[in-house]
Structure 1
Amino acid sequence: MEKSSAESFFDNGIKVSQPENGYRFSMDPFILAAHIQLTDTKHLLDVGCGCGIMPLILAYRHSAIRITGIEIQEELSFCARQNSINHKLDKTISIINKDIKNILISDINGKADIIISNPPYKKKNSGRLNPNTQKAIARHEITLDIDMLFKCSSRLINEQGRVYIIFPAERISDLILAMESYKFSPVYLRFVHIKKNTGARRVILCAAKNNKKTCTVSPPLYIYNSENKLTNEYISMFKP
């Protein structure tokens, strides 16, 4: 097992171990977690949970939910399981080391109310493939692409369930095409910019199954302000 290192967040309330040289989480999980609405949510599924960072954040903030993390990579799933145990959240968080395509509803003890994902974001044959297999699988659509994510979500989610994703803004057309193919509709969009007067880098999407309501487009999220300092909203995402 590869050597790991730990990072602390939420005033040291969360201490996350992850592979020292393999795939390491970015700011995206924190941004997405801050936008997930959990009203009346009992069961949440994280597809491609990595070291378990989003389940930890959500379980720390919301004690009355059940979270299942799905991770195809054995080493990352081991990290996720250990992180939940170390935080005494193993009764709230369960981790399954399996390809999402092979997950049965019985594996997750019933359909999910919400599915979340910070999925691989680079098309399989685009750009340089990282020589580190763990990073390559996490970043490129090798074992999971956006179409397969919505296909599996349609099968594993409740009829009125929601899917939350953070994805490159430049690939929003791929998101829309995948959603429509599996009867999901966007109900919330927000674009993420490094700072004002720059193009959007990410899009936060909430899509609902079998739902034809109008879509809310929120004002942009900026990471840096005009003085090149982190914005208060962004800073708040790393606090309890």
Structure 2
Amino acid sequence: MTETEMKEKRPLRIDDTGFGSVRILQDPETFCYGVDAVLLAGFAAARLKGRSRPSRLCDLGTGNGIVPLILSHKTHIGDMWGVEVQEEVWRLAVKNVELNDLEDRLHFLHANVRDIRTRPVECQSPAGQPVFPAELGGPGSFDAVTMNPPYTAAGSGLPAGNEARTIARHEVAGSLEDFLRAASALLKDKGHLFIVHRPSRLIDLCELCRRLRLEPGEIVFVSGKPMEKPNIVLMHCVRNGNRGLRILPEMHVREPDGSFSHEMLKLYERETPVRDAASAMRKDREGPPLRSENDIPAAGGKPGAEAECKDSVK
């Protein structure tokens, strides 16, 4: 049996996301989404709701499509796209559209972010012509872009356990600059970019964003619990936006007693504080509380479903 045939026969798992009726197919052997993707979707949704309704959004490095799937529940955006370089993971995203009957709103493209370079002043192909996947509709055609790019710079860190994790974690198929160039090409003037990354890359983020006319406007640091060092940063940029950076109050995922924080409950549309997070989530068939920053806070068709994933890379 070939490697491809083995992958096709590998069992997939259907999980409830905890967002309305949205479900997701995941491969426990290679790819499960993490809390960073949930935070990114919530961060973007909260800011897009308060503005004139955006009509088009693109998620770069979409993985199995979790961010657009959550946004399909949290927003009324009618045309959402996801771009994914890994064919096997992209196929999962396409299946997730069908699973949730969202063919009229969600579309996924198998492509590398390096192929999305359309603004001639900023970047051209070797032949001197702009490069752009025709499916996405042309340069400057999106109101918003979200991205959860690989966190580890090329040549840094230890290699991951398999190719899927390596591509998701390390900048081997696209650097941070590649992702940001793609976002700049996709966005309309005054369009909105939402990023999740590691605080250790914050200087790189700010420097690259400003160079590519993506002006940082808001930053939120996220920690596991109060008083712990932040391990996630959320950033909101505007293409050709006004200068002026706001550092918003830090948020945390859990309280000292292990219950979900008010911010996380609000993100999951549950306003009442819960001391025993595990019991509360099980009532909604959403799994136990986080065990690490990469676990899924509320996912699973059965209690503890996310624990079966060997690694959560998004």
TM-score (norm 2): 0.73
User: 1:9, CA displacement in angstroms?
Assistant: 2.2
Q: Determine the C-alpha separation between the residues in 2 that align with 1:176 and 1:125.
A: 21
Q: Whose strand fraction is larger, Structure 1's or Structure 2's? A: 1
Q: Determine the C-alpha separation between the residues in 2 that align with 1:11 and 1:159.
A: 31
Q: Give 2:206's aligned residue.
A: 176
Which structure has more relative contact order (CA 8 Å, sep 6+)? It is 2
Letter in 2 for 1:186: P
Which one of the candidate residues 107, 110, 116 is aligned to 2:146?
116
Q: Give 2:216's aligned residue.
A: 186
1:209 and 2:222 correspond? no
Are 1:225 and 1:231, in contact at CA under 8 Å, matched by a contact in 2? yes
1:173-210 CA distances to partner (integer Å, 9 max, x unpaired)?
11011112212211111000111221111110011111
Q: How does 1:50-69 map to 2 (within 5 A)?
A: 50-69=63-82
| Higher deviation after alignment, 145-154 or 223-232 | 223-232
Name the CA shift for 1:166/1:133 in 2 (closer, same or farther; >3 Å).
Answer: same
Q: Determine the C-alpha separation between the residues in 2 that align with 1:229 and 1:10.
A: 16
Letter in 1 for 2:210: E
1:30 and 2:60 correspond? no
Q: Determine the C-alpha separation between the residues in 1 that align with 2:248 and 2:155.
A: 33
Q: Determine the C-alpha separation between the residues in 2 that align with 1:17 and 1:184.
A: 33
TM-score (norm 1): 0.94
Q: Determine the C-alpha separation between the residues in 2 that align with 1:202 and 1:49.
A: 18
Q: How does 1:1-240 map to 2 (within 5 A)?
A: 1=8, 2-10=10-18, 13-36=21-44, 37-38=47-48, 39=51, 40-103=53-116, 104=132, 106-110=134-138, 111-239=141-269
Letter in 1 for 2:247: V
The count of corresponding residues between Structure 1 and Structure 2 is 240
Letter in 1 for 2:16: S
Q: Determine the C-alpha separation between the residues in 2 that align with 1:146 and 1:131.
A: 22
Structure showing greater radius of gyration is: 2
Letter in 2 for 1:3: P
| Higher deviation after alignment, 6-15 or 113-122 | 6-15
Q: Determine the C-alpha separation between the residues in 2 that align with 1:6 and 1:73.
A: 20
Q: Determine the C-alpha separation between the residues in 1 that align with 2:67 and 2:73.
A: 10
Q: CA RMSD in A?
A: 1.6
Which SS does the other structure have where 2:231 is aligned?
Answer: strand
Which SS does the other structure have where 1:54 is aligned?
Answer: helix
User: 1:166, CA displacement in angstroms?
Assistant: 0.5
